[in-house]
Amino acid sequence: MYNEQSMTTVCGTLCYAMGIEPPEYATETNPALKAYIDEKLGGKKADRILMFNPDAVAEWIYRKYPYLTKEVQDRTEVEVPLCTVMPSVTPVCFATMYSGATPKQHGIRKYEKPVLTVDTFFDALLRAGKKPAIIAVQNCSIARIFLERGMDYYIFPNLHEEYAKAAELILRDEYDVIVFYDGSYDSRMHKVGPEGLEALADLKANSRGFAWMSELVKTAWKGHDTLVAWAMDHGCHEIDGELGSHGLDMEEDLNVVHRYQIYPAEK
């Protein structure tokens, strides 16, 4: 069974959280996440968002190995099951996550990485006078499809430098929104399969990375109403040769679970 709520609801809900006008195609909001925002903030809006974007963590992996994401679950309060879009490949799905648009609307309909010309979350932030930043590794989808906007990009050759920059930027507390990408599980999963020991080790490391980043946010951004998210693009499945893949119209590839946490500002 496919999850009821679509990946198209994420962008509009992030805009709702910050009280800004959404981009052109972000017409939907996610009921569960919207209700959580209202409950935690009591009518106020978030003035900081940290989006931690892992790659290819399927709902079935998340359910089967809960102890591997315990650090994420311990630091988030709401679970949001979502059905991503087809084809379930990285640039297509992240384009939808950060625009609210379907692949037909945003124009990326296969594994390619053109710069998006449709209105996105980042454009909406800039129009509202907000300051967003993207932290990612070279040549990944997030590092390429959202380029050519008046925002800051921190693109690195490896994940270690990426994490170091994330710590620096969180501590500096200059950005309203930080989007951070970790593609380690996806990269390993393709080589050893979704349940290969090395892939599962990367998933565990991913969870730990989210954990320390969340703890850093709690301290460095304690004067802000902050939304933190663990939000992947699509799932995965095993193919012949004990390899991993994704991109098909199947539950394993389309069903994912996002996790969210709001930290109200400390007075």
pTM: 0.97
What does the domain layout of the chain look like in residue ranges? 9-263
The CATH class, in words, for 9-263 is alpha beta
Q: What mean pLDDT value characterizes the chain?
A: 98
pLDDT tens profile 156-198? 999 999 999 999 999 999 999 999 999 999 999 999 999 999 9
For the cut 90, the answer to whether the pLDDT of residue 42 exceeds it is yes
| Backbone torsion region of residue 72, taken as left when φ is above 0, otherwise alpha when ψ lies between -120 and 50, otherwise beta | alpha
pLDDT tens profile 47-89? 999 999 999 999 999 999 999 999 999 999 999 999 999 999 9
pLDDT, average across residues 85-113: 98
